[in-house]
Chain A
Amino acid sequence: MGFKSYVIRRTLAGIPVFIGLSILIFTLARVLPGDPARLALGPRATDEAVQSLRDEMGLDDPVVVQYFDYMAGLLQGDMGISLITNRNVAADLVYFFPATFELITVGMLIAIAIGVPLGIIAGRNKDEAEDNASRLFAFFGVSMPAFWAAILLQLVFAFHLGLLPATGRIGVEAPPRLTGMMLVDSLIAMDFRAFRSAVAHIALPAFTLALAPMADIARMTRSSFIEELNKDYVHALHSSGIPGKLIAYKYVLKSSFAATLTIIALDYGFLIGSAFLIEIVFAWPGMARYGVDAILANDINAIVGVTLVVGIVFIVANLVVDILYGYFDPRVRYGGDGE
């Protein structure tokens, strides 16, 4: 099978997963005990008020009908009204998602920029001090609660040293909104003061977010690097007198990078989960914070919307992993999906 048809087949395979996910989320939100209308209005609302909200939300229809209504709306960009913002959830998501996307993307770039070199250093010096240090660091990275690391970094760098701002996205007047990503918008507007402020604001949250994937990437790079170093062709290169450094960077790195790429794509999906904690600590006005606010306010439409978007990001990340696998290892394409 060619690479193109493999990609198409894989992409199509994501659709039933998305539909399944929408059913799961939707059913969870409706079937579990508790009346969303009552929860939204609070215990002091009159029964009439609750009933009229139930009618408005169509809560008395059978769940199947509600689901199809919702999906029909979704196709037209209507995700219901959010109870906390009184706007359509779709509009809210378009507004809040870019901030989260910017945060996790910068976080991932930091994780790669530090994680990959760490892994290579560890792999080239297997079982030596550098290796052990990077292993220890990797353990620390995955064991640290993200929200706690966020608080500590905030304490040290914002409150004590005063080097970086503690919360928010920007400290000066924001550039006109085009993409919703401060870094990009300020560059488009050629407003370098805003850009500097945006960089300072994103530094701490993005770095905190980067800690866990950084450790993951370092570990993966190390192990695939070592595996590759033991292959015959490397011994052949060695015996023909090619210097170790050249072998490492020119040949080994390239072929060991496939495994690292896949872990990067997977971690990208997980980062959006951590964002739910980080955005709270740094008061980052993104989708995850909107989601948490929705959760605390029992805003059911917003919760379903946010969870669906997270699911889409995750499904796309997994799709990219599969495609990368297929690209780097053509055997995967022919083997079907292993069933």
Chain B
Amino acid sequence: MSAIENWYHSESMENRKESARRIAYRFRQNPLSLVGLGIIVGLVFIAIFAPYIARHPQDAGYMGEPAVDFANRFAEPSLAHPFGTDQAGRDILSRVIFGTRYSLALGLFVLTFAIGIGVPVGLVAGYVGGFTGQVLMRITDIFLSVPPLVLALAVAVPLQPSLRNAMIAIAVVWWPWYARLVYGEVISVREEQFVEASRGIGASRIRIMFREILPNVLAPITVKFSLDMGYAILIGASLGFLGLGAQPPTPEWGTMIAEGRAYLPAQWWYSTFPGVAIFIAVLGFNLLGDGLRDVLDVEVD
């Protein structure tokens, strides 16, 4: 039984505390996952307090349309503008800071939706099985037969390009990954004695699925959630880059990189710094997810 299951199934408060302590200890032993956690805490902080951290919040469209200052067009990185300015004289650092909000929101929305749909589908397909299960898993397979980016592109087309529609497009293609993960886990525990016992004393199917089986799947879901946050942010930025996500002048990272491409190689900073932000955010979630995978001792696909 993995540490998190131990924790969940502990009867007494004492035992629970003990297992939680053990998880925390093992997590601290891994410096890279601590770096990841630090990055994510930092990002969340920046996203929440963006208007106070950014020096030019109005350049990122805070409280109104993004400001323009053509006199300051394409200023090189300097103390006044550490990341330089763009074609409308807007401070790129401030825009990158506000971009944190869009990327985190996108990741959270996509994964909440994906888990909300995928987990029940996987539970039902795995536990109820039969014809329903077969149909559900075949549908899942079909979704999984195209890379998420390409399918998201196909979904995004008929919708008008916007950040909201990009989120919807990515969410629509993401849930099957959770369905498959949960399905595999359910298959592996469905014949275990504790499930059998619960069935024996007359527990309902719903209760067995959500109270008995679901806790065993929490660990892999947690790990996949962390790894996927990074991946979803990448896909979101990719859609923005292709012009199918947030539209300029929204300070979304991928969109900014696409805008900056027109001014290469002279204004190199324009495309470079938003990319650094994506890289750090994705790295943070990957480091954390990898550390959690070690600590919770689970495999995700």
Residues of B that sit less than 8 Å from A by CB: 32, 138-139, 141-143, 145-151, 153-160, 187, 230, 234, 237-238, 241-244, 254, 257, 261, 264-265, 268, 271-272, 275, 278-279, 282-283, 286-287, 290
Contacts and interface: CB of A to CB of B under 8 A. Distances in A.
Contacts of A45: none
Residue from the set B148, B156, B230, B261 with the largest chain A CB neighbour count within 10 Å = B261
A277 B159 CA distance: 20
A33 B154 contact: no
B300 to A, nearest CB: 14
B264 A151 contact: yes
A121 to B, nearest CB: 19
A318 interface: yes
B187 to A, nearest CB: 7
Interface stretch (A21-29, A94-102, A105-113, A224-232): A21-29
B158 A143 contact: no
A139 B146 contact: no
B147 to A, nearest CB: 3
B146 A310 contact: yes
A265 to B, nearest CB: 14
Interface stretch (A48-56, A78-86, A288-296): A288-296
A155 B138 contact: no
A272 interface: yes
Given A143-B283, A273-B147, A303-B154, A159 B241 contact: no
B187 A338 contact: yes
A74 interface: no
7 contacts: A17-B138, A21-B145, A33-B159, A148-B279, A307-B146, A310-B150, A314-B147
Contacts of B264: 151, 154-155, 159
A303 B242 CA distance: 15
A300 B153 CA distance: 12
A43 to B, nearest CB: 12
Contact of A32 (B143, B150, B155): B155
A152 B269 CA distance: 10
Contacts of B146: 21, 307, 310-311, 314
Given A148-B279, A295-B244, A307 B150 contact: yes
A147 interface: yes
A270 interface: yes
Nearest to B129: A339
Contacts of B139: 20
Contacts of B275: 145, 148, 151-152
B156 to A, nearest CB: 8
B279 A307 contact: no
Chain B binding surface, main DSSP class: helix
Given A143-B283, A148-B278, A298 B157 contact: yes
Contacts of A33: 158-159
Nearest to B149: A273
A136 B146 CA distance: 29
Contact of A139 (B150, B265, B268, B283): B283
Nearest to B147: A273
B128 to A, nearest CB: 13
A311 B265 contact: no
A145 B275 CA distance: 7
B242 A280 contact: yes
A315 interface: yes
A268 B183 CA distance: 25
B278 A145 contact: yes
A310 B150 CA distance: 8
Contacts of B147: 269-270, 272-273, 310, 314
Given A32-B158, A151-B257, A295-B242, A307 B151 contact: yes
Contacts of B149: 273-274, 276-277
A140 interface: yes
A143 B230 contact: yes
Given A139-B286, A139-B287, A270-B147, A145 B279 contact: yes
A142 interface: yes
A276 B272 CA distance: 20
Contacts of B290: 139
B96 to A, nearest CB: 13
What are the 9 closest A-B residue pairs judged by CB atoms, nearest first?
Answer: A273-B147, A148-B275, A32-B158, A20-B142, A159-B265, A143-B283, A143-B282, A34-B158, A273-B149
Contacts of B150: 272-273, 276, 291, 307, 310
A17 B287 contact: no
A29 B153 CA distance: 11
A16 interface: yes
B33 to A, nearest CB: 11
Given A24-B143, A272-B150, A142 B286 contact: yes
A144 interface: yes
Nearest to B274: A148
A4 interface: no
A160 B265 contact: yes
B86 to A, nearest CB: 15
Contacts of A152: 272, 275
A276 B283 contact: no
A16 B261 CA distance: 42
